[in-house]
Structure 1
Amino acid sequence: MKFEMTENGFQTETSYGTLQISGNDEFGFRPYQLLVSSIAVCSGGVMRKILERKRIPAKNITIDIKEVYRNEEKASRVERIHMHFIIEGIELSNVQMDKIMEVTANNCSMVQSVKDSIEVIETYEFVN
């Protein structure tokens, strides 16, 4: 990837179009938003694959970011992310789902990349 400076941030060309990144959300995605998005979507994708392999595919998975804690005293670094998974179309026991959550976290490259610096909290609920 190659990032070029713009008047209000940076941009890069991807196969899906131009990605605008800026510290000001009027001009593009903020860097911390991309970080949180990467962690959430990686986790959701891994969970989806695990459920499909177990032959219990979900109708839908929504990931609600309940909290992003940024430490203002340390350059606004992201220190905690709370992801809440809303899983539609299946219902498992807490024991089964806790195991799936553990396997998801252990196999998500983004969660593993930040595990020693960002606390990632994962909760879930089932809806019909």
Structure 2
Amino acid sequence: MEFHLKEEGLRTEFEYGQLDISGNAEHGFRPYQLMVASIAGCSASVFRKILNKQRMEAADMKVTAEVKRNPDEANRIERIDLHYVIKGYHLDDEKLYKNLALARKNCSMVRSVEDSIHIEETLESVELSR
């Protein structure tokens, strides 16, 4: 990866497009937002792959992230609570939680920060009717 210094932050190019990073939200994504998005995105995509492999009928998934930062330690991220809302058919909460635990073990972003950031994952299922 290559990053170029701009007046208000950094810029990089990826296959998908340009990414601007800045401590000022007016000029780009803030670094902590990218960290949280990476963790949530990795966790959700691995979880979704596992659900698809097991043919669990998840029609929709929403993830919310609550972030706790410590202002006394450079605003360090101390905790991220990821809450999943799964909508689908014939959902089994016990299987969903087992699959979420498996996703956690296989998510490179969660594994990379698990010793420094407490990550808690919860879920709720919403049964849809056909």
**Pairwise TM-score range, normalised by the shorter structure:** over 0.9
1:31 aligned to 2:31?
Answer: yes
Count of matched residue pairs: 127
- Once the two structures are superposed, the pairs formed by residues 9-48 of structure 1 within 5 Å of their partners are 9-48=9-48
TM-score computed with the length of structure 2 as normaliser: 0.92
Q: Determine the structure 2 residue equivalent to 1:84.
A: 83
**Letter matched to residue 6 of structure 1:** K
Q: Determine the structure 2 residue equivalent to 1:54.
A: 54
The structural deviation recorded for 1:62 is 1.1
Q: Which runs of 5+ in 1 are unaligned?
A: none
Q: Determine the structure 1 residue equivalent to 2:71.
A: 72
Root-mean-square deviation (Å): 1.2
TM-score computed with the length of structure 1 as normaliser: 0.94
Post-superposition, which runs of at least 4 consecutive aligned residues in structure 1 deviate over 4 A? none
Contact 2:93 2:125 in 1 (8 A): no
Contact 2:97 2:123 in 1 (8 A): no
State the identity %: 49
- Once the two structures are superposed, the pairs formed by residues 95-110 of structure 1 within 5 Å of their partners are 95-110=94-109
The structural deviation recorded for 1:91 is 4.5
